[in-house]
Amino acid sequence: MTVRVGKPAPTFETKGYHQGAIKTIKLADYQGQWVMLYFYPGDFTFV
Q: How many residues bind another protein (CB under 8 A)?
A: 40
Nearest to 15 by CA among 28, 26, 7: 26
Q: Kindly state the smallest distance separating residue 26's Cβ from another protein, in Å.
A: 10
Paired strand residues for 43: none
Q: Which of residues 1-47 bind another protein (CB under 8 A)?
A: 1-12, 14-18, 20, 22-23, 25, 27-28, 30-45, 47
Task: Work out whether the CA dihedral 24, 35, 9, 2 comes out positive or negative.
Answer: negative
- The greatest distance separating any two alpha carbons of the chain, rounded to the nearest whole angstrom, comes to 35
Interface ranges with another protein (CB under 8 A): 1-12, 14-18, 20, 22-23, 25, 27-28, 30-45, 47
